[in-house]
Amino acid sequence: MTPRYRSVKGTRDLLPPESDRWNEAERIARETFRSRGYGEIRTPVLEETALFARSVGETTDIVHKEMYTFSDRKGRSLTMRPENTAGVVRAVIENGLAAGPMPLRLYYIGPQFRYERPQAGRFREFSQIGVELLGVPGPAAEAEVLEMLFEFLRALGFRALSVSLNSVGSAATRISFGEALRAHVVPRSAGFGEDDRRKLTENPLRLFDSKDPGVRAALEGAPRTMEFLDEESRRHHDEVRRLLADAGIPFADDPSLVRGLDYYTRTVFEVVSEDLGAQDAILGGGRYDGLVESLGGPSVPAIGFAIGEDRLLEVAPLAAPQRPRVVVLPQSPEDVAEASRIAREIRSALPGGCVEVDLGAHGIKRGMARASSLFDQAAWQGIDRNAMLAVFVGERERAADSVTVKRLATGEQETFPRSELARRLGAARER
Ligand code: HAM
């Protein structure tokens, strides 16, 4: 049957067992971040459009052409967040946290929206797992967030990832670097399209975001941000490198890394996986010492990163967690109450397991058919086939105070006293 409705272009459904992998990755993220004092922040998807223009930057691709922006019924311009850092900073200021004790450690997990051309690993609705650390001016902040990031990535099974690292310096660096970059590119810009011409005039750094081969060629031999760093930024960067080496975090300098958002100062970084076809970044981040103040708060330095969860899970060597599954089959409607009691007992004997009662009380035959169909779907549901059990509850069992348990993978069947249920199922799990 051809479906009448389809998901919107660039969006998709997450089904089991993939959703189990996502939940598992998010569980590990929460645990890792929480253990280092980070608290979860949830900001709205909708923000005032001006917030992103002001923070991410008017001339960035994100703000210029990728935002889902609309007027609400009162004519306010609203945008579905294309990223979460701006919203976090807005919330921190609005809720009085920017004037409170520092450092402030926050993380978030949630959907973001960008009107990009969908391709492998690139969606219009995608999810980010992000971290923001506010109030720490020194390189210890870089070390903390990157160490935590690597702890998370290693817990997901990654071994060979490395950070690409650069410094974009201060606001003054940006200006002098921008001018030098423009001077380098102008004589090579004859073939540029309208958009890249605009970048060249308004914000030459943004040319680094261009995929156009002509622009890439024009950038060859271009000046590097490093050549324009002020003394303080240079010292900061050297110290960051020293601390990362000290913490055993693999990194490599990437002098052409500038990142596609305007709020960065000094440290910027990305992690790229070769397993992602298009060589897209799994994650990106950096320091943004001027953003809190530019959004109307006090002067508070900050740093953070956001992982693209869709891309992360595409390449993460993380299996869906396996859970034992039990179907309790009452033979007739009179057996349902007893079946429900047994299901409760099994749930407490099999923490993390999945126990359901055949509420239709279809009897053994149809009940088994139902259990078998669950069994057939086992791969789809990420359930360990060896841990799938059916438990029969009928008149005979009730009279004898016993239960009959069938292991679906092998068809083995056993009847034993009900009092032994918890112990036996616990043991069955070990097998
Ligand atoms: P970003 O580099 O724009 O940075 O995005 C971070 C990550 O989100 C990317 O590396 C990528 O994995 C993922 N991502 C971006 N666009 C898409 C898409 N269309 N489809 C799938 N995944 C995508 C930020 O958003 C900054 N807020 C990061 C940050 C936090 N900097 C400081 N704090």
For residue 351, whether the previous peptide bond is cis, meaning omega lies within 30 degrees of 0, is: no
The answer, yes or no, to whether residue 226 has pLDDT greater than 80, is yes
pLDDT at residue 233, as a whole number: 97
Phi first, then psi: give them for residue 168, nearest 5 degrees.
Answer: -100, 5
**Angle in degrees, CA 84, 28, 11, rounded to 5:** 45
What is the 427 CA–ligand 1 centroid distance (Å)?
Answer: 45
The residue-averaged pLDDT of 226-253 equals 97
Separation of CA 342 and ligand 1 centre (Å): 48
User: Which residues, 6 or more positions from 231, have their beta carbon under 8 angstroms from its beta carbon?
Assistant: none
Q: Which residue puts its alpha carbon closest to atom 25 of ligand 1?
A: 83
Going by alpha carbons, the residue nearest to atom 15 of ligand 1 is: 308
Q: At residue 382, does pLDDT exceed 80?
A: no
Query: What pLDDT, in 10s, does the model give residues 175-188?
Result: 999 999 999 999 99
Distance 260 CA to ligand 1 centre (A): 9
What is the overall mean pLDDT for the chain?
A: 92
Residue 257, sorted as left (phi over 0), alpha (psi -120 to 50) or beta, turns out to be beta
Element (H, E) at 272: strand 267-272
Rounded to the nearest angstrom, the distance between the alpha carbon of 258 and the centre of ligand 1 is 14
Cβ < 6 A, ligand 1 pocket:
83-85, 114, 116, 121-123, 126, 128, 130, 132, 260-261, 281-286, 288, 304-306, 308, 310-311
Among protein residues, the one whose CA lies closest to atom 13 of ligand 1: 308
Identify the residue whose C-alpha is closest to ligand 1 atom 14.
Answer: 308
- In percent, how much of the chain has pLDDT > 90? 78
- For residues 210 and 198, is the Cβ–Cβ distance under 8 A? no
Task: Tell me how far the alpha carbon of residue 72 lies from the centroid of ligand 1, in angstroms.
Answer: 26
Helix (H) and strand (E) counts in the chain: 16, 16
Which pLDDT belongs to residue 427? 64
Residue 159 has pLDDT above 60, yes or no: yes
Per-residue pLDDT band for 276 (boundaries 50, 70, 90) equals: confident
Task: State residue 35's pLDDT score.
Answer: 98
Which of the four pLDDT bands, split at 50, 70 and 90, describes residue 203? very high
- pLDDT of 29 > 90? The answer is yes
Instruction: Please name the residue whose Cα sits nearest to atom 33 of ligand 1.
Output: 304
Given this model, what pLDDT does residue 183 score?
Answer: 96
* CA 38 / ligand 1 centre spacing (Å): 20
Mean pLDDT, residues 144-172 taken together? 95
3-state secondary structure of 279: coil
Confidence of residue 278 (pLDDT cuts 50, 70, 90): low
Determine the pLDDT at residue 198: 94
- Kindly give the distance from the C-alpha atom of residue 284 to the centroid of ligand 1, in angstroms, as a whole number: 6
Residue 368's pLDDT is 81
Residue 304: what pLDDT? 98
**What pLDDT score does 275 carry?**
76
User: What is the spatial distance between Cα 66 and Cα 115, in angstroms, rounded to a whole number?
Assistant: 4
| CA separation for the pair 152, 22 (Å, rounded) | 14
Ligand 1 nearest atom to the CA of residue 114, by list position: 19
Pick from 6, 73, 84: which is nearest to 45 by CA? 84
Q: What angle do CA 198, 204, 208 make, to 5 degrees?
A: 105
Q: Is the pLDDT of residue 317 over 90?
A: yes
Cβ-contact 397, 332 below 8 angstroms? no
297 CA → ligand 1 middle, Å:
24
Distances (CA, A) of 227 to 46, 121, 177, 222, 290: 40, 34, 8, 11, 21
> Which residue among 52, 107, 283, 288 has the greatest number of ligand 1 atoms within 8 angstroms of its CB, and so is best to mutate?
283
The model's pLDDT over 33-72, given as tens digits with 9 standing for 90+, comes to: 999 999 999 999 999 999 999 999 999 999 999 999 999 9
Nearest-atom index, ligand 1, CA of 83: 25
